[in-house]
Amino acid sequence: MTVPIVVMLLVTAQRLSELVIDRRNRIALLAEGAREHGRGHYPVMVLLHVGWLAGLWNAALGGPLWTPGPAGIMPVEPVWLAVLLAMQALRLWVQATLGRRWTTRILVLDGTPPVRTGPYRFTSHPNYLAVAVEIAALPLAFGMAGYALLFSLLNAAMLAVRIRAEDRALGRRQETALRAG
């Protein structure tokens, strides 16, 4: 098995495990009265991530959309794999910090303040930072700069919508205005 295939298996397994965690946490949060926000953009986000993974699998398997390197071998850049690994650590830190509140959707329990511990001490959206870097780092690890750029731009557009929805749901804009005033 090649390094790109092993990496893709691990990334895919990680994403699938997140869907299992999401389902468990989502069911529990909804049962406690959480409300979902930003439902309209969620299918676009899923499509973006599925498309990103599908294209990377195509490349790792030497599909027709990929121009292989010398002797059909896909390049692997260790520095970008290290960046990807660092982002995995950040994602795990986010999940550990949020615990049962972590989901792939925007679910808010009324009266529950936003988390301000762990990586949230440094930024309001550490998971989106990790995902944004991953979306670029994995294709760059495989020598796919154009692919990294394309999906980074698509992800940035989607995150602009997502972050606005999440900030509204959590009341972050009002908090900022109150602190400034």
In angstroms, the Cα distances linking 9 to 13, 36, 43, 54, 65 are 6, 31, 23, 12, 20
Query: What is the rounded distance in angstroms from the CA atom of residue 158 to the CA atom of residue 62?
Result: 28
- Nearest 5°: CA angle at 103, between 31 and 174? 90
Domain coordinates in residue numbering, the chain:
3-180
pTM recorded for the entire structure: 0.87
Query: What is the rounded distance in angstroms from the CA atom of residue 119 to the CA atom of residue 121?
Result: 5
**Tokens in use for 164?**
């606005």
CATH 3.20.20.210 applies to domain 3-180: no
In 3-state terms, what secondary structure has residue 108?
strand
**Tokens in use for 39?**
């439902």
- Return per-residue pLDDT of the chain as tens, 181 residues: 888 999 999 999 999 999 999 999 999 999 999 999 999 999 999 999 999 999 999 988 887 666 555 545 677 899 999 999 999 999 999 999 999 999 999 999 988 888 999 999 999 999 999 999 999 999 999 999 999 999 999 999 999 999 999 999 988 654 444 444 4
Query: What is the rounded distance in angstroms from the CA atom of residue 96 to the CA atom of residue 128?
Result: 15
